[in-house]
Structure 1
Amino acid sequence: MGGRMARFLTEQDVKQVLTVEMAIEAVESAHRDLSLGQAIDTPRARSRLPQTALHILHGGLPAQGVLGYKAYTSNRSGNRFLVYLFDAATGRMKAAIEADYLGMIRTGAASGVAAKWLARPDATVAGVFGSGWQAEGHVRAICEALPLERVKVCGRKADKLADFCARMSETTGVEIVPCASPEETVRGSDLLGTVTTAAQPLFDAEWLEEGCHVNAAGSNALIRQELSEQAIRRCGLIAVDSVPTALAEAGDLLPLLEKGRLHPRQLVELGDVIIGRHGGRRDAAELTLFESQGMAIQDLAVALRVLAAAETRGLGSELPMQ
């Protein structure tokens, strides 16, 4: 196995080495680097054709020696994801990695990192909206990040929801239960996650408990809105991946920004909490929010660790390029 050759990793290779713990450490490192001025992140660009759209996010982590991009196509038949890694010093290609599973775990990991830094450390009960593919990463990450005892999940299809809860209980060792109503999901929850494609707010702001932390992961366009304006206005701290990305894509925040009810300077980058530039949660009663849009540097940090683990285990195949 030549050290110079680029490697190709399949979904199967990634699944063998990627852990939620690894992803949380990687995503946290990306946010830390960004706040320390040691990262560059270029927000998503899209090319749309009638049947298919191509989405590209790119960036670099010079302190970690890597730059690269994630490209994915979305089509009615499904989405296809690839992450490309290049060596920052030489410009050589390091790897091409199939990244559907990687992206799902990484998106969840961002919520895990936010929960670790912003939720009350004694949070034991969580409520989650969504029981799809992305919700899996979300549930696994919050169970890794906090000492949760119970996760209530609200989903539209009862049979799919029951399956999801059974599978996640087994995977995490935490009691994960289907929830009958949005109100029941929100009330009594120390931590709340929204991982849906909802165009309308999912719950009433009045149901939020004092001291709750909300991870909003689904709304990445103006047409998508999971949280009501009232819910957002109850939050004393609004954290984002990065301010430029949030201003471009945070469907939950854009209506308030437009009306002047929220100012861009009120948005706190998650990395600033991690490095101590911002104090984070003020007290046990404050409501906090993390709006997750997703960034290339999160994918690159996770991909770098996946590549190292795969090389150690001799996984993947060499690509015929130098």
Structure 2
Amino acid sequence: MIFIGADEIRQTLSYTSCIEVMRTAMARLSAGKTQQMLRQILPLEAGRMFGIMGGTLGPGGPFGSKLVSVMPHRAEGGPSSHQGAVVIFDPDSGAPLCQLEAGMLTAIRTASASAMATDVLAREGAHTLAILGTGEQAWHHACALPAVRPFDEIRIWGRSRDRADALADKVRKQTGIVCAAYSDVAESVAGADVICTVTGAADPLLDAAMVSPGTHLNVVGSSFDGPREIDDTLVSAARYFADSRASVLAQGSEIRHAIASGAVTEAHLLGEIGEVVLGKVAGRMTPDNITLYKSLGHIVQDIASGYHVYQMIHGRHSG
């Protein structure tokens, strides 16, 4: 078994390659070719969590598990908010092939999954990207999404204007795309073609009145049943898709709240993003549709991206 650290993952796993890995992995999940346990979350003190996930890419494919701690209130410049390990096992011998640092793998595959969903659901001419949040996922989403749409403007909103300014400057230098920081949520998303919510917000930041017709949203920040980034009106207004139907109905706080309030029923969750990829469920129907991809994160994404990294490194070493 080899250990693959964060730096090696960053150097090996490009956003463009990971987007295609996510496209295949989500299609396999929706086709019923994978197996996975519902994610288990153990709450810790002060809003921290410990997560346990396990699954397989299907018959003859690799299988594995992820153990991760989530520390949302990390210090500025400190370690990643997500720390842990992904262990991938050989499908033939059953031996562990590799252990990967989970923080970097999670960051890249999450942003790449949002980019894949954006490619599937957003309007072809999307050119303005708004990102709510200033943490790791905000940075990775800013880097990943331009791979699927020709954005000429990126907007960053954060509770801290200093952090938003710093991230905007970093994104501008990395991507070459015009990027500005905003202090007001409504202003930052006004007229945006794509919106990514990657915050630690406990209560909704966005409602339907703030979002223009035709917008695509990636709702990423809340990863368990509790905090919500968008309200019931926006859930109701959107064509709503999940990474995993079972996971989102069990732990997706935004749609669970909307169902409990009577704003929508379970039928409002139209399908999984993999079903849209496979052509089994229609995605965007009209240019004015608001489309929404709810990302909780999924073990199939971790195994697929982790195994891809292993194969690239193992092939390099063996060559």
TM-score using structure 1 length? 0.90
Q: Give the conservation status (yes or no) of the 8 Å contact 1:219–1:226.
A: yes
Residue among 117, 120, 124 paired with 1:121: 124
Q: Secondary structure of 2:39's partner? A: strand
The CA deviation string for residues 29-80 of structure 1, in whole angstroms up to 9 with x for no partner, is 1101011211112221133455874311111102672110111124577542
Q: Secondary structure of 1:201's partner? A: coil
Q: Give the conservation status (yes or no) of the 8 Å contact 2:196–2:219.
A: yes
2:97 partner amino acid? K
Q: Give the conservation status (yes or no) of the 8 Å contact 1:33–1:63.
A: no
Matched with 1:319 is none
Aligned mates of 1:36, 1:139 — CA distance in 2: 30
Aligned mates of 1:143, 1:181 — CA distance in 2: 23
Superposition pairs for residues 111-260 of structure 1, below 5 Å?
A: 111-235=114-238, 237-260=239-262
Instruction: Answer with 48-57 or 195-204: which moved more.
Output: 48-57
Q: Which has the higher contact order (CA 8 A, sep 6+)?
A: 1
Displacement of 1:18: 1.3
2:28 partner amino acid? D
Superposition pairs for residues 65-84 of structure 1, below 5 Å?
A: 65-74=61-70, 79-84=82-87
Q: Secondary structure of 1:137's partner? A: helix
Q: Secondary structure of 2:126's partner? A: coil
Matched with 1:280 is 283
Aligned mates of 1:203, 1:279 — CA distance in 2: 25
The count of residues paired between Structure 1 and Structure 2 equals 309
1:245 partner amino acid? S
Structure 2 gaps of 5+ residues are 75-80
Q: Does 1:92 align with 2:95?
A: yes
Q: Secondary structure of 1:131's partner? A: coil
Displacement of 1:157: 1.5
Structure 1 gaps of 5+ residues are 1-5, 316-322
Matched with 1:38 is 33
Q: Give the conservation status (yes or no) of the 8 Å contact 2:228–2:254.
A: yes
Q: Does 1:293 align with 2:296?
A: yes
1:220 partner amino acid? S
Moved over 6 A (4+): none
> What is the aligned-residue RMSD (CA, Å)?
1.9
The CA deviation string for residues 201-241 of structure 1, in whole angstroms up to 9 with x for no partner, is 11342121111111100122332111011111111x10001
The CA deviation string for residues 145-176 of structure 1, in whole angstroms up to 9 with x for no partner, is 21111111101212221221121222223222
Aligned mates of 1:165, 1:37 — CA distance in 2: 40
CA 48–159 in structure 1, closer or farther in 2 if over 3 Å, else same: closer
Aligned mates of 1:90, 1:215 — CA distance in 2: 38
Counting aligned pairs with the same residue, the percent is 28
Residue among 6, 22, 30 paired with 1:11: 6
Matched with 2:53 is 57
TM-score using structure 2 length? 0.91
